[in-house]
Amino acid sequence: MSAVKTDTRAPTEIDRLIGQRVRLARKKAKLSQTELGRAIGVTYQQVQKYENGTDRVAASRLVQIADVLEVASAALLGETEENAPPLMDDMAMNLAAEFSRLKSPALRRAAYDTLKAIAITDRTS
């Protein structure tokens, strides 16, 4: 009986979530992938790989990214620090990921309008 080997270096769901947080922070900072890449010494293609979760981000690189984007490293990991709220909780990250998978502009608009209406209702109740 042979054991099935798994590639322990293969990206995981955690890598994907970290990538989503990097993308969100980069967009909040109004930087392009090229600009972020230059600031941390990699190509925009490498930034894409980090953001898509296809390449893992080393801890030292994560600190560099956080410094450039002016966010706490812990926020990119999904952890909170005192006085440093997370960029977005995991449920919101998953919602954004699912929304981005909608191909139909009409469905995207309907989903957005529905969620907006729910949020307005929640604020007024």
| Domain ranges for the chain | 10-87, 89-125
pLDDT of residue 1: 47
pLDDT of residue 26: 94
Please classify residue 51 by burial: count the beta carbons closer than 10 Å to its beta carbon, then call 0-12 exposed, 13-18 middle and 19+ buried. buried
Start-to-end C-alpha separation, the chain: 61
Q: Consecutive sets of 10 residues in the chain, 125 residues long: mean pLDDT of each?
A: 58 88 92 97 97 93 95 83 55 75 88 88 79
pLDDT of residue 79: 74
Which CATH code of 1.10.260.40, 3.40.50.720, 2.60.120.10, 3.40.50.2000 fits the domain covering 10-87?
Answer: 1.10.260.40
pTM of the model: 0.62
Q: What does the alpha-carbon distance between residue 5 and residue 7 come to, in Å, rounded to a whole number?
A: 7
pLDDT of residue 18: 93
* Of 57, 20, 18, residue with least CA distance to 37: 57
Contact 64, 26 (CB under 8 A): no
What type of residue is 55? Answer: D
Contact 12, 55 (CB under 8 A): no
CA pseudo-torsion sign 62, 68, 72, 78 = negative
pLDDT of residue 102: 83
pLDDT of residue 90: 64
